[in-house]
A = this chain, B = another copy of it.
Amino acid sequence: MKTTKTFVFFFIIFFLGSSAYPAIKRQHYPCKNLVLYFHDVIYNGKNAANATSAIVGAPQWGNLTILADQFHFGNIAVFDDPITLDNNFHSVPVGRAQGMYIYDTKNTFTAWLGFTFVLNSAQHKGTINFIGADPIMVKSRDISVVGGTGDFFMHRGIATVMTDSYEGDVYFRLRVDIKFYECW
């Protein structure tokens, strides 16, 4: 009997403790995973039919058809890129990556990302919202999944972004490894 009481007491302490301090250490174990690719073809004045993105902001020394000097610092691009399950540009898209990237360093390639995956396939319907810094020259970089809707209602997590391929300043493909740690 005494043991039980001690047990229960220990329990109260433990439980109240974790309830009162939401910042308890939680396990870093994803509740859901998704690996997706998206493909960006930037408008350069000649590829209107195929372009999926366009420069819409540039610094004083830049323009809207050629990415600016100094590692494209100051360029804002708006995009509506196809998302695929594999790295093939011609695969059937499962959704669209929509938003913007901003080149934001003068002495190397980095970008700031704000975008949404709008998924609409047999497997997934809903949106995933991303924000974060993208140090492009680093092999794998982490950004935040700050929210989601539909199948991804209230989800949060981390997305690991990798440049899977690129062709000069015209095309790049990103692999996005999404790990949700809050799934609801």
Residues of A near any B CB (own CB < 8 A): 1, 4-5, 7-8, 11-12, 14-15, 18-32, 43, 45, 54-60, 63-65, 73-76, 78-80, 96, 98-100, 102-106, 110, 112, 114-116, 118, 127, 129, 131-133, 135, 142-150, 153-154, 156-158, 180-184
Minimum Cβ distance to chain B for residue A176 (Å): 14
Q: How many copies does the complex hold?
A: 3
Known: A23-B31, A118-B133. 19 other contacts (CB 8 A): A1-B1, A20-B29, A22-B181, A22-B182, A25-B184, A56-B57, A56-B102, A73-B80, A76-B78, A99-B102, A99-B133, A100-B102, A112-B116, A118-B135, A129-B132, A132-B149, A143-B149, A144-B146, A154-B182
The answer to whether A147 and B149 have CB atoms under 8 Å apart is no
In the complex, what distance in Å separates the CA atom of A75 from the CA atom of B27?
42
Minimum Cβ distance to chain B for residue A95 (Å): 10
In the complex, what distance in Å separates the CA atom of A7 from the CA atom of B15?
14
In the complex, what distance in Å separates the CA atom of A11 from the CA atom of B14?
12
Minimum Cβ distance to chain B for residue A28 (Å): 7
The answer to whether A58 and B59 have CB atoms under 8 Å apart is no
